[in-house]
């Protein structure tokens, strides 16, 4: 479904991704792991059209995304859960969610809203509450719910569980598994190895802008110690 070929990205003159290739198959959940500053967020931003590639190509369902605007990428069915739980603080939960479905028509938005409330009942209970007054866990549900409102075929998630309590992380793993069973394709940026293992079937390790290991998540986790020492600097 998603195919990234030899992607390089520069900020000003500094190249931070150096020829990265990665694939996500239809209905697959793939984890992208790597240390701080490796370029994980940059890679997701590139798929969403928020930063431009200096080299390489990205295909989504066979279509080259390089010249497609970020707005059109959303329309094509790619949703991005950004790093750092960015909810709109002064808007209600409902308003936040409706914004996520802005490219879909009214009927679709209504149906999807029901789906999101089923996935995260807590959001339904707090429809009118301001985004900024939600707890950290609830804000995470809100950004994921907002991304789902676009009815994505591919969901990009940038460390949705960072800093959350283990119980909420487990709940998220369950939600992700549920979305995957329902046929959603997911590319998950994650530093929490256990969380990645409980959701993704395949993974890539990114360090200093390069893919240094890839394989089944079980296999990567089996080599965790080795990978950690060699690439993650821990
Ligand atoms: N807007 C920007 N302008 C210049 N440099 C940037 C910009 N955004 C990121 N960088 C640099 O690019 C590199 C990769 O950053 P990126 O945010 O993609 O890493 P990351 O793997 O997501 O890290 P983290 O785990 O800390 O979120 C870093 O060296 C960072 O300083
Ligand atoms: Mg990041």
- Give me the DSSP letters along 33-71: E--TTSSHHHHHHHHTTSS-EEEEEEEETTEE-TTS-HH
Q: State the distance from the centre of ligand 1 to the C-alpha of 42, rounded, in angstroms.
A: 6
Residue 42 has pLDDT above 80, yes or no: yes
Average pLDDT, the chain: 92
Q: What percentage of the chain reaches a pLDDT higher than 70?
A: 97
CA-nearest residue for atom 29, ligand 1, is 37
**Which tokens is 44 given?**
């997701």
Which ligand 1 atom is the nearest neighbour of the CA of 12? 4
Protein residue with its CA nearest to atom 16 in ligand 1: 39
Instruction: Provide mean pLDDT across the span 206-234.
Output: 80
CB 145 within 8 A of CB 175: no
* CA 140 – CA 172 distance, rounded (Å): 9
Closest CA to 188 of 175, 174, 199, 179: 199
pLDDT higher than 70, residue 140:
yes
Instruction: Give the number of the atom of ligand 1 that is nearest the alpha carbon of residue 43.
Output: 18
Ligand 1 — pocket residues by CB below 6 A?
11, 16, 34, 36-42, 83
Residue count (the chain):
234
Is residue 67's pLDDT more than 90? no
76 closest CA partner among 89, 85, 67, 87:
67
Q: Could you tell me the distance, in angstroms and rounded to a whole number, from the CA of residue 34 to the centre of ligand 2?
A: 9
pLDDT given at position 125? 96
In tens, the pLDDT along 22-32 reads: 999 999 999 99
pLDDT of residue 192: 80
Per-residue pLDDT at 233 exceeds 60: no
Phi and psi angles of residue 116, each rounded to the nearest 5 degrees, phi first: -65, -40
- Nearest protein Cα to ligand 1, atom 5: 11
Task: Ligand 1 pocket test: pick from 9, 15, 20, 37 the residue with the most ligand atoms within 8 Å of its Cβ.
Answer: 37
Residue 114 alpha carbon to ligand 2 centre in Å: 31
**pTM exceeds cut of 0.95:** no
Q: How far is CA 142 from the centre of its chain?
A: 14
Q: 39 and 209 in contact (C-beta within 8 Å)?
A: yes
Which residue has the least CA distance to atom 22 on ligand 1? 41
pLDDT tens digits for 69-95? 999 999 999 999 999 888 999 999 999
Ligand nearest to the CA of 192: 1
How far apart are the CA of 41 and the centre of ligand 2, in A?
A: 4
């Amino acid at each position: 479904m998603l195919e990234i070929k030899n992607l390089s990205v520069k900020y000003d003159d500094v190249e931070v991704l150096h020829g990265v290739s990665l694939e996500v198959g239809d209905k697959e959940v793939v984890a992208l792991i790597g240390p701080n500053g490796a370029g994980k967020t940059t890679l997701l931003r590139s798929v969403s059209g928020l930063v431009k590639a200096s080299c390489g190509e990205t295909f989504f369902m066979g279509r080259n995304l390089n010249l497609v605007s970020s707005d059109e990428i959303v329309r094509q069915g790619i949703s991005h859960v950004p790093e750092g739980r960015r909810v709109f603080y002064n808007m209600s939960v409902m308003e936040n969610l409706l914004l996520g479905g802005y490219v879909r028509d009214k009927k679709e938005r209504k149906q999807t809203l029901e789906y999101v409330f089923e996935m995260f009942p807590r959001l339904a209970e707090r429809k009118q509450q301001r985004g900024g007054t939600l707890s950290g866990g609830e804000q995470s549900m809100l950004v994921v719910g907002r991304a789902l409102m676009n009815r994505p075929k591919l969901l990009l998630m940038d460390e949705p569980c960072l800093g959350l309590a283990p119980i909420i992380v487990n709940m998220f793993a369950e939600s992700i598994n549920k979305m995957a069973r329902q046929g959603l394709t997911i590319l998950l940026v994650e530093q929490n190895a256990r969380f990645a293992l409980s959701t993704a079937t395949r993974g890539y390790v990114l360090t200093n802008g390069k893919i240094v290991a890839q394989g089944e998540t079980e296999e990567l986790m089996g080599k965790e110690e080795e990978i950690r020492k060699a690439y993650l600097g821990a």
